[in-house]
Structure 1
Amino acid sequence: MSRTTPPRPVDIASIFPELAPLARQAVRLHPRAGRPTVHDSSVGGPLLWPANEVWPACTKEHYNHKLPVSLDDVRQMRALLEAAWLRPREPREDLLDPDQRAYLDKLKAGHPAHTEPNALLPVAQLYLRDIPGLSGPEGSDLLQVLWCPLDHDEALPAAHLVWRNAASVGTLLTDPPEPADVEHYGDYVPEPCVLHPEVVTEYPAPLELPKELADRLHNWGEEQEEESEEGPGGAYYQYELSVAPGWKVGGWGPWSFRDPSPMHCRSCNTPYKPLFTVDSGEWDGGSGSWIPLEDREEPSGPTGLRRPSDPPMVQIGRGYNMQIYVCPTSFDHPHLEVMQ
């Protein structure tokens, strides 16, 4: 099923013409639970990977605030909780019985961190044919995003980007290595999802606008709240009219709890541009107008462990975003990861 973002409640560029030249195209990916193959664009799905190409591993320093767990531990924890949430229960009946609780505690106990390189985990696979506006190095038609599912600098997983030509892959790697260590809560393990790409228009977050314009937008939002007696007030533009939530390609950065800082390529000093955003959810209580039309009807039964707004089950920080920026001068230059 395709996903359709409703029109914005207000055509903000007609009210504030200064915003019109700042409009950018973003592609909301709308990941939803599915069974993608190596020939599909996906989140958390298998990668089209050559059998004769070494699978990448992380050799960077990890910041383990709690003991890591295994990938299998995460899968078993999720399976246990999924079954528990889906089964019928009597009022006030515990979610887990004592044996299940003890088993879950055992899975969550973790293990000492391994010292050898940690195999990377597939995060996303994007065929350029599916993502309007996405382009890579000459001859490439596929972007693959992997990461080490442990905390690194800025309490983020360390991402690895691969651009390739799908037709040149040849014999496929069918049993890729898996990481020995995963972040304690499994927050960086995406569940397999198929994608429903959709182009939307974005405008800069208030923190990226001149202060005078940002102040006028804030005051305008408060006026709208006074007239309607509801809404987010001064944050109306921030939540509903500027940057789309959710996993996406391109667009603007979702700056909110931290100020934007100059971000320039370490190789050539060119300003970075946004490439790919990982989000902890596609909507929340403050961004209801972004809920796709197809997802507005309340589920008729139990939804299981997955929240309808977060099918990949990825959590960045306390519900934030991880945005990957790239250098527009060269795809060979290092990328940048930022929590926003």
Structure 2
Amino acid sequence: MTRTTPERPVSVGAVLPELAPYRGRTTRLHPRPGRPGMRDSHVGGPMLWPYGDPWPVCSESHRPETEGCAPDDIRNARAAGTRPESRPWPDTGMSREGGPAPFVGLAQFFRRDIPRLAPGPDDADLVQLFRCPFTHTSHLERRYHLRWRRAAETERAERFLVSPPEAPLLRRENEIPQPCVLHPEEVDTYPWAEGDTLPAPLIDLIDAWDDAQAAEHGPGAPSYQYDLSIPPGWQVGGFPSWASTGPMLVGCAACATPMRLLLTAEGTEMDGGSHSWVPIEDRDPSLRGPASIRGGSSVSRPTGLRFGRDRDLHVFICPADPGHPPQWLLS
């Protein structure tokens, strides 16, 4: 089934025509629980991983843990609609402090499914995203890993890895993604309106429009950031949101080139203010507003993941050389 973003509550061109030069495009991925295969773009499905290729491992020191959930217990509990039991941490060397610890595969995207996906090194057209299941330093930082591949070359491998290595226990159940199929859809998007993301006079116009909407329609009025700017959820390309951090200049550590947003990952596909973006196919046409949304957590939190305290994970790459180290920002 396709997913179709509803028309915006108001036309951006009609109410803020000055934004026209800043319009961009993003591909909303619309993950929904399903059974993706290793040759599909997905969140949480099996990676297209040739047998014999070393699985990515985090060798940094990790925060000590005393208990956790076994990966299979998490999967079985999800299938049963229950919560997994917590177990004492085994004495395995990987468990309490230090490493190595195998990364968890979060997602993979093929350009054949998502044409807006930026090319990787040597025009790689498959990108795979991983996260260390443990935290680092006293600030509970996370480590991510990006793997680029040429899809056609990779698919010619004779054998593929079926059961990747896993840590014996995980801190929480939201360390493992729920397997999700994708429903890519391109939509218009506009920059976050704060700081120097747009000219100051234009931000003033946006703020004045927001104030007028609130005065006329009350708390449920349309607003630029929630309803017109950047859609919630997993997406490729487009503009970053800066709700938690405020706008930041992201420069390549290798060459100082301003970096490009490759993708955004989120634990939620909507929040209290962004429900207008929920697709038509996930709504009851006889109802309006948030009451019309159907599907429960399979629509609002389909992947089962969490990034920070329900923040956005932005993955940036260098447009001058995609082989330069990526940058990861929670905002």
Q: Give the TM-score of the pair, scaled to structure 1.
A: 0.84
Question: How much does 1:232 deviate?
Answer: 4.5
Distance 1:339 1:282 in 2: 16
Residues paired across the two proteins, number? 315
1:151 equivalent in alignment to 2:144: no
SS in 1 for 2:106: strand
1:315 equivalent in alignment to 2:306: yes
SS in 2 for 1:190: coil
Question: How much does 1:237 deviate?
Answer: 0.4
Distance 1:141 1:53 in 2: 18
1:328 equivalent in alignment to 2:319: yes
What residue is the counterpart of 1:260 in the other structure? Answer: 247
Question: How much does 1:275 deviate?
Answer: 0.7
1:127 equivalent in alignment to 2:110: yes
Alignment of 1:235-254 (within 5 A): 236-254=223-241
Question: How much does 1:66 deviate?
Answer: 6.6
Question: How much does 1:139 deviate?
Answer: 4.5
What residue is the counterpart of 2:189 in the other structure? Answer: 202
Question: How much does 1:143 deviate?
Answer: 1.5
Give unmatched runs, 5+ long, in structure 2.
none
Aligned pair in 2 of structure 1 residues 268, 19: CA closer, same or farther (>3 Å)? same
Aligned pair in 2 of structure 1 residues 107, 182: CA closer, same or farther (>3 Å)? closer
Alignment of 1:255-294 (within 5 A): 255-294=242-281
Distance 2:42 2:180 in 1: 6
Distance 2:123 2:206 in 1: 43
What residue is the counterpart of 1:93 in the other structure? Answer: none
What residue is the counterpart of 1:116 in the other structure? Answer: 99
Give unmatched runs, 5+ long, in structure 1.
85-100
What residue is the counterpart of 1:39 in the other structure? Answer: 39
Amino acid corresponding to residue 215 of structure 2 in structure 1: E
Question: How much does 1:251 deviate?
Answer: 0.6
Question: How much does 1:175 deviate?
Answer: 2.9
Q: Give the TM-score of the pair, scaled to structure 2.
A: 0.86
Question: How much does 1:65 deviate?
Answer: 7.2
Amino acid corresponding to residue 318 of structure 1 in structure 2: R
Question: How much does 1:329 deviate?
Answer: 0.9
SS in 1 for 2:86: helix
SS in 2 for 1:39: coil
Question: How much does 1:148 deviate?
Answer: 1.3
> Deviations for 1:310-335, whole angstroms, at most 9, x for unmatched residues?
11111112221111111111111011
Distance 2:324 2:46 in 1: 26
Question: How much does 1:26 deviate?
Answer: 0.5
Alignment of 1:74-153 (within 5 A): 74-80=74-80, 82=81, 84=82, 104=84, 106-107=85-86, 110=89, 112-113=95-96, 115-136=98-119, 137-152=121-136
Aligned pair in 2 of structure 1 residues 171, 147: CA closer, same or farther (>3 Å)? farther
Amino acid corresponding to residue 120 of structure 1 in structure 2: F
What residue is the counterpart of 1:25 in the other structure? Answer: 25
Amino acid corresponding to residue 36 of structure 1 in structure 2: P
What residue is the counterpart of 2:12 in the other structure? Answer: 12
> Deviations for 1:270-300, whole angstroms, at most 9, x for unmatched residues?
1111111111211122011101000112999
Amino acid corresponding to residue 213 of structure 2 in structure 1: Q
